[in-house]
Amino acid sequence: MFMPPGTLALLLVAVLASVGGMIVVRRFIPAHKLSENNEYVGFTFSILSLVYGIYLAFTVVVVWQQLDDADEKVAREVALVNTLWRNAEPFPAADRMRLRRHLIAYLHDVIENDFPKMEHGLETTMNEKNDVIWDDYYQLSPDPNDIRQVSFYREGLDRLNDFAMARRLRILASNNSLPTSMWVLLIAGAVGTIMFTWFYGTRYLSIQIAATAFLSAVIVYGVLLVSMLEYPFGNGLRVTPAAYEELLHTFETRINDVPPPAR
């Protein structure tokens, strides 16, 4: 799984700090003194680690579902743009080309403007290219005697409403984040659970160092994973504009694919 260098460095620092804290405690409190409380510390630690483990797993599932939901919203918007392209086929060439060029312009705007803003947590405003597509449909005048045009026009209006909603839902998904209270519990629980390992009295220091390092690595990695998944369009593990780019490439290929003149 991808982890940015900065996040990996933070993980290593956290593990070293955990091991360092345990060594400092051992320096001031001998192992035989700590071992006198092993039964109590072990009982408390088992309850704390169980509760925190469930909470950490729950939080990871929540942010993963947010990411998956955002990916589905993107896929739906892309599918609707493709449907609008296909529904323009029965209309006169001038109307059809105008609408399709505006769909291409919309995809460019999403890729070049929307996604950079969503990645940095900036507000995404209403898209003028979206309004232009609506205007294109307002200007269409399907031939009432052409059942095909009338059917595709009505279908196009329905899909246009779905398209506008899909765009709005995608923008709303980019603002998903965990409440501050959940982050406080997530971090405080991680620190408390790791610190409990410092107060075990074991005969061999190397074993306690290894156990503390492994436990802290698992816990801190879980917290960092939550941070990478929290914003579906932010840094780390995120939804990319790849689906829009692929559709844009397809549209541009089609619109430039002019048949050769008849001989």
| pTM score, whole prediction | 0.80
Higher pLDDT, 224 or 1: 224
User: In this model, does residue 26 exceed pLDDT 50?
Assistant: yes
For position 133, what pLDDT does the model report?
A: 87
Q: Where are the domains of the chain?
A: 5-255
What confidence tens digit (pLDDT) does each residue in 175-230 have? 888 999 999 999 999 999 999 989 888 888 888 899 999 999 999 999 999 998 98
Residue 13 structure tokens: 């620092």
3-state secondary structure the chain: CCCCHHHHHHHHHHHHHHHHHHHHHHHHCCHHHHHHHHHHHHHHHHHHHHHHHHHHHHHHHHHHHHHHHHHHHHHHHHHHHHHHHHHCCCCCHHHHHHHHHHHHHHHHHHHHHHHHHHHCCCCCCCCHHHHHHHHHHHHCCCCCCCHHHHHHHHHHHHHHHHHHHHHHHHHHHCCCCCCHHHHHHHHHHHHHHHHHHHHCCCCCHHHHHHHHHHHHHHHHHHHHHHHHHCCCCCCCCCCCCHHHHHHHHHHHHHHCCCCCCCC
pLDDT tens digits for range 139-170: 887 778 888 888 888 888 889 999 989 999 99
104-148, pLDDT tens digit by residue?
Answer: 999 999 999 999 998 887 777 666 777 888 888 888 877 788 888
